[in-house]
């Protein structure tokens, strides 16, 4: 049999390639929302957050706007540290399903992680209205009230779960301190005895006892306990709270020494840099304060608080030009921080940009709801180093 001419042969091959029915059958099918949702759930459970985020956003692009899609996307954002984005999508989930406790629990947790305790507490209260035995909601609601110095409300939240938290040292510290602050001395003594029994003779126990005595303004036993906590020179926040005690006693030289030790032991403690820098500024040592904060931001480049502390120091030394880029970096990391918008407004005003200053001040007024952190919150900053509570899926 003779061969086909070359052109006719090529045309036959191309035609077969383009129109062969089996190949046509292999073209991509339409996206299956149910399969995408299941794939996203599996990825979320496995900790594959980039994949889960892609899947849930794909569902939104396909027009699937269900409470579960927004809620799961909120969990992804929470677990990847994007709290403002989490709040945005969780509010959409709540609007679609206002009665789902898990969505409200995650909203409360998101505001809690922003240290906006006044915003967080009502969400945990909503959860308890429908699930009175919810351990996590009781704990977190009590913790919010404790941080805001609303100690009767903290006690009311903690008491129903105290039998289930007999070995939780942080819980016992908060409940015992709350009892002490409202003069329920016998209850306070009972809880602290349980704290000692559960904690043993450990630096962590002495740190908690020292903080409790400090809150109750019993400075001598506080110093004894905090010095024992700091003896090993390895426990984060032990030197920090000892410095706070010496500052309260008016012994600033010893406070400075302890803050310096804290930074050496735990250079991630942004509050130690802040307190030490402010003390140096009060002593007229502004260049030393700025150098210290520059060291802190180099060690913790993604801390919006430290960037703002450094910018404030520059502003106080009339260097608005250096402050502005730092404040912009801080807002890129934490865009919802009203205090940082306020500082940026000050910086623009000082550098001769009144329109930009007015805009930032307006944002600050919208965002700033007043601080919700009280004395107890300032005495519990080391809680940020604890493992955060788990989100509800």
Query: Coil, strand or helix: which one is 3?
Result: coil
**What is the distance of C-alpha 37 from the center of its chain?**
28
Which pLDDT belongs to residue 12? 39
Q: Give the rounded percent of residues in the chain with a pLDDT score beyond 70.
A: 88
Task: Please name the residues in contact with 88: beta carbons below 8 A apart, sequence gap of 6 or more.
Answer: none
Give all domains of the chain, ordered by start, each with its CATH number.
35-144 (1.25.40.10), 168-251 (1.25.40.10), 297-367 (1.25.40.10)
Task: Please name the residues in contact with 313: beta carbons below 8 A apart, sequence gap of 6 or more.
Answer: 277, 281, 286, 289, 290, 293
pLDDT for 166-217, tens place per residue? 999 999 999 999 999 999 999 999 999 999 999 999 999 999 999 999 999 9
pTM of the model: 0.81
Other residues' Cβ atoms within 10 Å of the Cβ of residue 5: 9
Span of 5-14, 84-93, 101-110 with lowest mean pLDDT = 5-14
Higher pLDDT, 305 or 375: 305
């Amino acid at each position: 049999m003779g061969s086909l001419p070359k052109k006719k042969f090529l045309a036959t091959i191309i035609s077969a390639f383009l129109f062969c029915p089996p190949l046509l059958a292999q073209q991509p099918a339409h996206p299956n929302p149910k399969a995408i949702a299941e794939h996203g759930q599996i990825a979320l459970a496995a900790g594959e957050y980039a994949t889960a985020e892609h899947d849930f956003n794909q569902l939104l692009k396909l027009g699937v706007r269900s409470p579960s899609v927004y809620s799961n996307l909120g969990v992804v954002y929470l677990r990847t540290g994007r709290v403002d984005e989490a709040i945005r999508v969780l509010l959409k989930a709540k609007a679609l399903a206002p009665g789902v406790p898990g969505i409200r629990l995650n909203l409360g947790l998101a505001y809690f992680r922003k240290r906006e305790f006044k915003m967080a507490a009502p969400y945990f209260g909503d959860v308890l209205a429908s699930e009175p035995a919810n351990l996590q909601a009781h704990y977190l609601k009590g913790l919010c009230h404790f941080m805001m110095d609303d100690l009767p409300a903290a006690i009311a939240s903690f008491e129903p779960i105290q039998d289930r938290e007999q070995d939780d040292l942080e819980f016992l510290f908060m409940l015992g301190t709350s009892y002490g602050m409202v003069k329920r001395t016998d209850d306070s003594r009972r809880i602290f005895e349980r704290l000692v029994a559960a904690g043993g003779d450990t630096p962590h126990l002495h740190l908690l006892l020292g903080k409790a005595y400090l809150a109750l303004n019993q400075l001598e036993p506080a110093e004894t306990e905090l010095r024992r906590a700091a003896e090993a020179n390895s426990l984060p926040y032990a030197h920090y709270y000892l410095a706070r005690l010496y500052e309260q006693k008016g012994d600033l030289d010893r406070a400075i020494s302890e803050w310096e030790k804290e930074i050496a032991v735990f250079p991630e403690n942004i509050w130690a840099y802040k307190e030490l820098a402010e003390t140096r500024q009060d002593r007229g040592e502004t260049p030393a304060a700025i150098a210290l904060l520059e060291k802190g931001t180099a060690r913790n480049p993604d801390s919006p608080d430290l960037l703002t502390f450094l910018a404030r120091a520059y502003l106080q030394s009339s260097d608005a030009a250096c402050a502005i880029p730092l404040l912009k970096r801080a807002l890129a990391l934490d865009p919802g921080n009203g205090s940082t918008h306020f500082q940026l407004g000050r910086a623009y005003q000082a550098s001769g940009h009144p329109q930009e200053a007015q805009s930032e001040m307006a944002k600050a007024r919208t965002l700033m709801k007043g601080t919700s952190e009280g004395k107890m919150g300032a005495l519990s900053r080391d809680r940020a180093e604890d493992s955060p509570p788990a989100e509800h899926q």
